[in-house]
A and B are shown apart, each in its own frame.
Chain A
Amino acid sequence: MFFHFWILGKYMKAWRQFFDVTILLTMVGITMGVAVLLVAMSSFSGFETTLKRAIIEAVGDVAIYKRSGKIDKIEVLEKQLNPYMGSVQDKLYFLGQESLVASKGKIAAVFLQGVEKEKAASVLNLKNRITRGQDSWEYRDDIPPAYVGKDLLKKMGLQIGDTFKIILPRTSKTSASDLNPIIKTFYVTAALDLGKYDFNSRFLFVDLPIVQDLLDTRMISGIRLKLKNSDRAEKWAQVVQEKLGWSYSVMDWRQTNKNYFSAIDYEKRVIFFVVLVIVIASGFNVITSLFVTILKRYRDISLFKTLGARPRDIGFLFCLHGLLLGAIGTLLGLTIGWLLCYLFEIGQKVFPLLPADIYRLSFVATEFRTQDIVWICSATMTICFLSTLIPALRGARLSPVEGLKYE
């Protein structure tokens, strides 16, 4: 074993001398930097995952639309999709229509979606998104049920069990100016939290045949697919898009909100480098504390050199010293960061930290990704290593004579 580890171990054992004020302050700096980095990165990752889950549970992993109009020959499309269905867990037909909701003197524009009720849980996970009410597709006094976004309910002043009307604007086939709106009554069976304000304030799910009857069609707007692995959705969508050609649009969950996710990626990188400044600043503390240590250990350095240590041994010893500070600071930082993330999540449950109408997400979970932690640790350790170089070089060049002159 290298003697450097042995010496450093012995120094550390006398921890009162080893962890003096300068060393402690340096480690506090590194710890703070790493903790803030971890909180920032895991918040961004959690935000991304929360958003991803919200989108997937509301629109599926992949959606296939016909670019012009609606899909009439589903069998033809399904035949084309057959070779790729191995990666698909389940599929759901839907028919979407922009419409109006009217109730208690209020009107709101909504996106009405007719979905296959038996697939609503497996592809869209509506069941898990229910905050109030019950998961029931049963008619009540011949009135069909509707699953409504929670913010839409709030906006309309509706409660579970209340009835409301859906108005589908339909133009006349004979006159350009005539409008024959279709009106249908529904009752609220459940309030949905789809995780994203856009969805919660606009989405409304009903049984597919009802919408088809209202629009007097057997066609569908598209197919929503749940893949066995959501992370492979982009690749799957690309391959299927090539197969189906231009007449169809195959959109994966990321592509549906491409700008959103690109912005998150970009912001995450920027925040990483901004917060890294704290670690860079503590790198200067590492330099200072190593210089102080060199002064304190001048006699030891002289002695090691006298007893046969080469200049590069002394340099290596101080590099190790700096890296050790970095490693301890990083470990402490990760622990404190993890605690802060935990408190952040609890805090959100007690206090609404994120106003849903501003941030569009009602709850942001924090998520620790191996990739983020590897980045944080390597950046911190690289900064600490670079900070050790100047003091290590200085220590390596010290003359052995001066340190031995006095007690």
Chain B
Amino acid sequence: MNKLLMDVKCVTKSFSRKGEPLDVLKGIDLDIREGEALCIMGSSGAGKSTLLHILGTLDQPTLGKIFFEGVDLTRKSSAELASFRSQTMGFVFQFHHLLPEFTALENVLLPCRIAGDSRRESLQKAEALLGRMGMKDRKDHYPSQLSGGEQQRVAIARALIRGPRILFADEPTGNLDSSNAKIIQDLFFQLKQEQKLTLVVVTHDQNFAARFPRRLELKDGMWVSYRF
């Protein structure tokens, strides 16, 4: 069994709606092992995206702890978490969130620029990654000049540019037609193998979910089926 990468302990997330507390996550436990591919499923409003944001340190839990290789992430400051995310995590969203003023190549370079990486090396890496995504000829195109599938491939390249250990994807094929969705799904598994990534994907897509060795389902903020 691979070593434990992330350990989530009794995570609760509550929001206040019209003065009434609304529990989105109710005492979630989760362990993620290095190199595994994990799929989180559930209906709308089940808390999948909230859990993914908390795992990705984009949001803080109301209660509970998250450990990454034994280090408690809930005790880190915003600046420390930003640096941690930059070094360790990659993100792909349903709406690719590419910046319209930037070309495909510049969008991919963004994490490196934020981290202050060497320009030449990052440029080489970005071009290689876009080549790997089959986007070499379209690197100077703006997002508005790319199809949905191409935009998502650029977003994946952006998530991988700094060599993350864990990749979070929130409905990555939710906005794509079936043929493009198939291409993206294949790409995820190929990249997982090539880059020895740990993959955590939230999806509605049953076909996509069926390809994951480990599937978890959330309902009303709790696990329906939890398999260790």
Q: Please give, as numbers and ranges, the residues of chain B lying within 8 Å of A309 by CB-CB distance.
A: 82, 114
Nearest neighbor of B95 in chain A, beta-carbon distance: A407
Q: List residues of B (137-182) whose CB comes within 8 Å of A's CBs.
A: 158, 162
Do residues A308 and B114 form an inter-chain contact, with CB atoms below 8 A? yes
Do residues A308 and B79 form an inter-chain contact, with CB atoms below 8 A? no
The distance from the CB of A297 to the nearest CB of chain B, in whole angstroms, is 10
**Does A300 sit within 8 A of B, measured CB to CB?**
yes
Q: Please give, as numbers and ranges, the residues of chain B lying within 8 Å of A14 by CB-CB distance.
A: 100-101
Do residues B116 and A310 form an inter-chain contact, with CB atoms below 8 A? no
Do residues B114 and A313 form an inter-chain contact, with CB atoms below 8 A? yes
Q: A3-B114, A14-B101 are in contact. Are A311 and B78 (CB under 8 A)?
A: yes
Could you say which interface size class chain B belongs to?
20 to 34
Q: A3-B116, A313-B114, A401-B58 are in contact. Are A308 and B82 (CB under 8 A)?
A: yes
Q: List residues of B (84-116) whose CB comes within 8 Å of A's CBs.
A: 85-87, 91, 93, 95, 97, 99-102, 106, 110-111, 113-116
**Does A305 sit within 8 A of B, measured CB to CB?**
yes
**Does A304 sit within 8 A of B, measured CB to CB?**
yes
**Does A350 sit within 8 A of B, measured CB to CB?**
no
Interface-located stretch among A5-13, A49-57, A213-221, A225-233: A5-13
- What is the total of A-B residue contacts with beta carbons within 8 Å? 70
**Does B83 sit within 8 A of A, measured CB to CB?**
yes
Do residues A308 and B101 form an inter-chain contact, with CB atoms below 8 A? no
Q: A3-B113, A6-B113 are in contact. Are A310 and B58 (CB under 8 A)?
A: no
Do residues B78 and A308 form an inter-chain contact, with CB atoms below 8 A? no
Interface size on A, residues (CB 8 A): 28
Report the Cα distance A305→B86, complex, angstroms. Answer: 9
Taking Cβ atoms with an 8 Å cutoff, the residues of B that contact A are 49, 53, 56, 58-59, 78-79, 82-83, 85-87, 91, 93, 95, 97, 99-102, 106, 110-111, 113-116, 158, 162
Enumerate 23 A-B pairs (CB-CB under 8 Å) in ascending A order.
A3-B110, A10-B101, A10-B106, A299-B97, A303-B110, A305-B58, A305-B82, A306-B58, A307-B111, A307-B158, A308-B82, A308-B162, A309-B82, A309-B114, A310-B79, A310-B82, A311-B82, A313-B82, A401-B58, A404-B93, A404-B97, A405-B49, A406-B95
The distance from the CB of A309 to the nearest CB of chain B, in whole angstroms, is 5
Report the Cα distance A267→B49, complex, angstroms. Answer: 64
Q: Please give, as numbers and ranges, the residues of chain B lying within 8 Å of A310 by CB-CB distance.
A: 78-79, 82-83
Q: Please give, as numbers and ranges, the residues of chain B lying within 8 Å of A311 by CB-CB distance.
A: 78-79, 82
**Does A269 sit within 8 A of B, measured CB to CB?**
no
Nearest neighbor of B83 in chain A, beta-carbon distance: A308
Nearest neighbor of A308 in chain B, beta-carbon distance: B86
Nearest neighbor of B113 in chain A, beta-carbon distance: A3
The distance from the CB of A38 to the nearest CB of chain B, in whole angstroms, is 34
